[in-house]
Structure 1
Amino acid sequence: MGIQLNHIIVPAHDKHVSAKFLADVLGVEVAGEAGPFVQVAVDNGVTLDFMDANGFAEHHCAFLVGEEEFDAAYQRIKDQGIPYWADPFHQQPGKTNTMNGGKGLYFSDPAGHNMEILTVP
């Protein structure tokens, strides 16, 4: 089988709000609940398992997406008025980047995690 990432636990102030927010931006459904977690599944079988928590540090999650998925997510971000940046340090607001010849942007989720979508790793 080899080694595969199966899931990552993402702390949130409200697991339902954070999971729905990310699912909406990515254009996927909330995958459901498993124990104390609300899950968002991505196409390679990995789930982000949101868990209610307090006093956590910011996490970074990067999602490699196709051009069409990027354009659709970017449009949803703009339509919902979600602030976004071209850089991970949030110093270039309202811009996307073209790193490595692709497209990318960063946005914060409701818990303050730094999320990224990019078309070229």
Structure 2
Amino acid sequence: MTVELNHTIVPARDPQASAQFLAEILGLSVDPPVAHFTPVTLANQVSLDYDQLDDFEPHHYAFMLGDQEFDAALARIQHGGITHYGDPACQEIGQIYHSQHTKGRRGTYFRDPDGHLMELLTRGGTGS
């Protein structure tokens, strides 16, 4: 059997609202609750299981998207007035990055309602 990531728990002050926020940006839907978790399942069947917690450190979550899905997600971010950045330090406001190591890779960062740093990136090709 191969080893695969099945799910990860995402702490959130309001799990339903945070799950809905991410699902809308990614063009996904929020799954029915599982116990006290609010899951969002990705195309590779890994789920982000949002769980209510009041005190936590923000985490980083990165999502690989196809070029068309990236463009659509970026449009939803911009249309929603969500600040996005071209760098993980959140200094390059309103930018996307272009990888120097992976030809064609683009990406951007944004914060979710709980302060988690979300990254959207495309696969791109191999570097030259």
Structure 1 moving runs of 4+ over 6 Å: none
TM-score (norm 1): 0.97
TM-score (norm 2): 0.92
Equivalent residue number for residue 88 of structure 1: 88
Q: Residue 74 of structure 1 aligns to a residue in which SS? A: helix
Counterparts of 1:55 and 1:24, CA distance in 2 = 25
CA-based RMSD of the aligned residues comes to 0.9
**How many residue pairs align between the two structures?**
121
Sequence identity percentage: 44
User: Do residues 15 (structure 1) and 18 (structure 2) align?
Assistant: no
Unmatched 5+ stretches in structure 1: none
Cα-to-partner distance string for 1:56-115 (whole Å, 9 max, x where unaligned): 001100000000000000000000000000011101000000112311000000000000
Counterparts of 2:20 and 2:111, CA distance in 1 = 14
Counterparts of 1:24 and 1:4, CA distance in 2 = 25
Equivalent residue number for residue 77 of structure 2: 77
Q: Which has the larger radius of gyration?
A: 2
Equivalent residue number for residue 64 of structure 2: 64
Aligned-residue offset at 1:2: 1.1
User: Do residues 49 (structure 1) and 49 (structure 2) align?
Assistant: yes
Q: Residue 118 of structure 2 aligns to a residue in which SS? A: strand
Unmatched 5+ stretches in structure 2: none
